[in-house]
Amino acid sequence: MTVLGQLSLGLALLLAAWGSVVGFVAGRTGRPELIRSARRSVEALFGVLAVASVALLVALIRHDFNVEYVALQTSRNLPIVYTIAAFYSGQSGSLLFWAFILSGFAAAAQWTTPGRYRHLMPYVGAVTCVVTLFFVTTILFAASPFERLPFTPADGNGMNPQLQNPGMAIHPPMLYLGYISIAIPFAFAVAALLSRRLDAGWIHAIRKWTLLSWIFLSVGVTLGMWWAYVELGWGGYWAWDPVENASFLPWLTMTAFLHSVMVQEKRGMLKKWNVVLIMLSFLLSIFGTFITRSGIISSVHSFAQSSIGYFFLVFLVVAIIALGWLLWSRLPLLHTETRLESMVSREAGFLFNNLLLVGIAFSVLWGTLFPIISELFRGTQVTVGPPFFNRVNIPIGLALLALTGIGPLIAWRRASPKNLRRHLVVPTAIGAVVAVLLVSGGVTDFYSIVALALAAFVTAGIVQEFVRGVGARHRLHGENHALAFMRLIGRNRRRYGGYIVHVGIVIYFLGFVGMAFKSEMEASLKPGETATLRSAYGHEYAFTHLGISQYEALNRFVTAASVEVQRDGQRVGIVRSEKRQHVDSFGRPSFEPSTEAGIRSGLLLDLYVVFAGAIAGTEEAVYRFTINPLVWWVWFGGVVLVFGGAVTMWPGGGPTKGAPRRRVAGYSVQIVEEKVAEKV
């Protein structure tokens, strides 16, 4: 299928180039036939990249090992799920996947954007075509998945064992979907700048896209944490690795954008800032791929490295210059319509939220790039580790958490400090009670006490918001409390869906706090021997080594070590950790041995057992035992966050129907009536 694949890619190159040029010309001249041709190039681009993707999938499924990519990424004994996932597990395949999804999003944007934004669409098409053009060029000239080998190997190399994990089948696509979908809001922003139509139109047009891409990014980052936790075997889920940081950076700027865009919608402020944020998010998503793909900074994720880093670097530099010029030339059109009325207002809250988010983003970027900067100036790569990131980001993160609690309690436009204080009384009291309970319970870690107290504060604030909102509806509309609750959420989905997302964030923090209380030990145990470890809750866990077993599985030799776990003398169960030696279909070892951690997960803590190896052919095993409190809550926070995001995005009903129009009309009549009363 390589001929079809190559042909489709060549065609995609032409279509993307055509779409880029025609889109810009159509946008400038407004000629209908060019507008239609530009739109069709976007659709056709999606079609031909779909053909190329199908060609690669067919080659993978057919085990066509004459294709270099298939031989490198798969083997005959690789389960079919991973054979399909191999589409995006390697360098060139993942680039094709990226281009294909981008073209799909671009076509979807053309199809779903309402007609009133039609003046933006040729430019949007052009921008998406330019980005696709870059990816297709990189694939064709630096990393084609359709390269053939001069010979046909009997079997392929197989997939990196660390990638053979169910999380791997969904984590990269989710993160990619997040990264790639940023290109659509970015394209609208550039379209608005190019067309000089910088009213709130483009902001409205991208509302759903921004949320969608933020949800994908959040899910992608969380799944990445989960993958690192179950697969890398070091007992944690976040190590401030460059690639983890690269996925976190656009998430931070997108989160900032989600908040500041509301200020522009409601008050016509922060226009320049919003354009800058969306551009930054896009550039950071490209930067993330650059980091992953160039191998410029060593990382646990560097599964694919090659010269394509230069392509990304050139694209980044050109994009920064072009965007900088565009922004500079449109600055006069981006003036603020209103001024900040008071520092005690929701918009001021969003301003601080943005400063903190961008502060974190800057520190993470600095820490990530520090090895390169230090190499540039001092000749050696100096890596800044987790201590740097934690020292800088924990205080900012906690300030952000506090703001998550305060922000929703402040009114838009202007709030009197007295009213704010009244709203803060209950949440602050609850936060203080939690802090006192923790201190009296013997907790000494300062940041943990602050984080948990703030978590209680934020949760109380959100509950209070719901209670007051239901009360207000009950009084204003005479609805019973259940109906008022449903309508409160249903008719203000953005606001109350957003509050649910905040609950998700609080739950994440709960999980993060747990990591401060992890306990771990290493032990070398003969069968029947026991090691004990005390958990943060004061329970004594005893791990008794049962023995080592060896067996052959589908594509690996497994050496498994089992321990029986007891808590304060009560049997909990058996946990098993494995060492896996992956082999190809001829039984030849294909990768370095990998470790599969044994995890027993619970609401309060996870037991995490890693079998580090057996001692010289005996049944004596070296283990690392870790007790991780509250890890489960990190994953659950992700679920709540996605649920909140879905509520925010849910189409139809609510404010889109007649109710607010009716209310608007009601006010309209009321105001005129009042004026009449004044005059008569």
Partner 1 sequence: MVELVVGVIVAIVAVGIVLEPLLRDGRGSLHYGNDTDDAEEDVLTDIEESESPKVQALLALREIEFDRETGKLSDEDYQSLKQRYAAAALDAINAEERTTAEASAAPGEMDAAEAAVQRVKSRKNVECPSCGPRPERGAVFCSGCGRSLVVKHDRSRCWMCGSALSEGAKFCSGCGTTLS
Provide the CA 144 distance to its chain's centre, in angstroms.
Answer: 27
Neighbour count for residue 277 (Cβ, 10 Å): 27
Per the structure block, which two tokens stand in for 172? Answer: 């990269």
Q: What value, to the nearest 5°, has the Cα angle with vertex 131 and ends 129 and 137?
A: 95
* Overall size of the chain counted in residues: 680
661 binds partner 1 (CB under 8 A): yes
Sole residue written with tokens 């001021």: 348
The mark string for 476-505 relative to partner 1 (x by CB under 8 A, - otherwise) is: x-----------------------------
Q: How many residues bind partner 1 (CB under 8 A)?
A: 75
Closest CA to 106 of 19, 202, 27, 35: 19
Among 201, 236, 295, 527, binds partner 1 (CB under 8 A): 201
Among 43, 479, 619, 620, binds partner 1 (CB under 8 A): 43
Binding positions for partner 1, 180-199, rule CB under 8 A: 199
Among 62, 116, 481, 526, binds partner 1 (CB under 8 A): 116
- 631 and 237 in contact (C-beta within 8 Å)? yes
Q: Which is nearer to partner 1, 420 or 521 (CB)?
A: 420
39 binds partner 1 (CB under 8 A): yes
Q: How far apart are CA 269 and CA 127, in angstroms?
A: 26
Span interacting with partner 1, options 155-163, 184-192, 294-302, 466-474, rule CB under 8 A:
466-474
416 binds partner 1 (CB under 8 A): yes
Span interacting with partner 1, options 28-36, 150-158, 290-298, 570-578, rule CB under 8 A:
28-36
Q: How far apart are CA 224 and CA 401, in angstroms?
A: 22
34 binds partner 1 (CB under 8 A): yes
Q: How far apart are CA 594 and CA 651, in angstroms?
A: 45
Among 28, 118, 526, 534, binds partner 1 (CB under 8 A): 118
220 binds partner 1 (CB under 8 A): no
Closest approach, Cβ 48 to partner 1, in A, equals: 6
Span interacting with partner 1, options 15-23, 169-177, 382-390, 444-452, rule CB under 8 A:
15-23
Among 28, 29, 30, 31, binds partner 1 (CB under 8 A): 31
Residues with Cβ within 8 Å of 9's Cβ and at least 6 positions away in sequence, in order, are: 52, 96, 136, 139, 140, 144, 146
409 binds partner 1 (CB under 8 A): yes
Provide the CA 646 distance to its chain's centre, in angstroms.
Answer: 15
Q: Which is nearer to partner 1, 26 or 86 (CB)?
A: 26
Closest CA to 249 of 207, 280, 219, 293: 280
User: Is 380 exposed, middle or buried, given 0-12, 13-18 or 19+ CB atoms closer than 10 A?
Assistant: exposed
148 binds partner 1 (CB under 8 A): no
339 binds partner 1 (CB under 8 A): no
Q: How far apart are CA 86 and CA 395, in angstroms?
A: 40
State whether residue 122 is helix, strand or coil.
helix
Closest approach, Cβ 90 to partner 1, in A, equals: 22
Binding positions for partner 1, 234-293, rule CB under 8 A: 265-266
Tally of CA atoms within 13 A in the half-sphere of 553 that contains its CB: 15
Span interacting with partner 1, options 394-402, 519-527, 561-569, 659-667, rule CB under 8 A:
659-667
| Phi, psi (rounded to 5 degrees) for 547 | 155, 175
DSSP state of 407: G
Among 17, 21, 47, 557, binds partner 1 (CB under 8 A): 47
Q: Which is nearer to partner 1, 41 or 245 (CB)?
A: 41
Q: Which is nearer to partner 1, 102 or 415 (CB)?
A: 415
Q: Which is nearer to partner 1, 616 or 669 (CB)?
A: 669
Q: Which is nearer to partner 1, 588 or 675 (CB)?
A: 675
526 binds partner 1 (CB under 8 A): no
DSSP state of 358: H
458 binds partner 1 (CB under 8 A): no
Per the structure block, which two tokens stand in for 395? Answer: 């205080």
Closest approach, Cβ 115 to partner 1, in A, equals: 4
Per the structure block, which two tokens stand in for 482? Answer: 């259940």
Among 114, 150, 379, 538, binds partner 1 (CB under 8 A): 114
4 binds partner 1 (CB under 8 A): yes
Closest CA to 502 of 562, 457, 462: 462
Among 471, 528, 573, 653, binds partner 1 (CB under 8 A): 471
